[in-house]
Structure 1
């Protein structure tokens, strides 16, 4: 006689809630996806890290774009100041060789516009540092023999460079070039004039 309960053969399916069916389903998923049951959390962590890296890279690229744009703006302004045909052209035909030449230049610089153009011209000469820029300015405006007769304050019987309109233009140019205070430019000019009798301005 047969018992009242149902018998399951070897190939019969188990109920969905049974431990056997869960193990079978898990094994099937592993075979299909190639993932282990523990792979889920590590994948999530990897995804989070990747998103953070992508976000960081986007921020860096945005910063680089901003820096490049600012540098381009600076370059454009520099080119405008250095381009032939602007207001700095023909400010000075040649370096002053005598005191009379310098006096004529000073007379011309009584015109405010002329003085402003001189400041722009001196600024456009540039220089690796403050002292180099000052020497370059002096060399372009006058020769070494002329500057040997000057000191900044006019001591030791020399003429006072600080009284010249050219001095004001040089200080203004140095301040715009190097973002410095006036006294730093004054010191650099005084040092350059002090050395003028002993060596050529380079």
Structure 2
């Protein structure tokens, strides 16, 4: 029994070391991205309008742009898949813009899951957390979008609540 526990401990420690090595290798690979590509994306995010999102989504469908964005998102970090998703989504979407999207397009909102940006987030999270399931990532994205109103500054949040209440009347 003790031997099994020792083996489990060694496997866990080996996994931790392997994750550190993977992180170091990925960070080294990121250094190979030309600075102009990094700067190009850093200027475009966070997206402030739906047009910005559509433009970025179209751009990453071409050449190596998808790969560059995945590497940039990967570098945002996150100690768990959920935290990584929140960091990435917060980097891609401006806080007020996040209100216009939902994971699957419910409540007459724009479905984020239909965007290539969603695929980039999945790829970046899986690169950082290899055991993360697509379902976990989808749920985290949906939760981020569903809770977008709570991340608005107080005055904007109050304005949104008042608008929602006026729609109900």
Contact 1:131 1:192 in 2 (8 A): no
- Answering whether residue 51 of structure 2 is matched by residue 103 of structure 1, we say no
Task: For 1:8-157, list aligned pairs within 5 A.
Answer: 73-74=21-22, 76-83=24-31, 86-87=33-34, 89-90=38-39, 91-93=41-43, 94-157=45-108
Q: CA RMSD in A?
A: 2.6
Deviation track 1:25-47 (CA, whole Å, cap 9, x = no partner) reads xxxxxxxxxxxxxxxxxxxxxxx
**So what's the TM-score if we normalise by structure 2?**
0.69
Give 2:143's aligned residue: 191
Q: How many residues align?
A: 134
- 1:79 to partner: Cα distance: 3.3
Tell me how far apart the structure 2 counterparts of residues 164 and 154 of structure 1 sit (CA, whole Å).
Answer: 11
The two structures have a TM-score, normalised by structure 1, of 0.59
Q: CA deviation at 1:75?
A: 5.7
Q: Deviations over 1:98-129 (max 9, x none)?
A: 11111111121120411111111111111121
Q: Distance in 1 between matches of 2:28 and 2:52?
A: 29
**Alpha-carbon contact 1:95-1:143 (below 8 Å) kept:** yes
| Alpha-carbon distance between aligned partners in 2 of 1:72 and 1:103, rounded to the nearest angstrom | 35
Q: Runs of 5+ in structure 1 lacking a partner?
A: 1-62
Q: Which has the higher helix share?
A: 2
**1:89 Cα deviation (Å)?**
1.8
Alignment partners' CA distance in 2, 1:186 and 1:131 = 10
**Which protein is bigger by CA-based radius of gyration?**
1
Q: Which runs of 4+ in 1 moved over 2 A?
A: 69-76, 85-88
Task: Single out whichever of 129-138 and 85-94 deviates more from structure 2.
Answer: 85-94
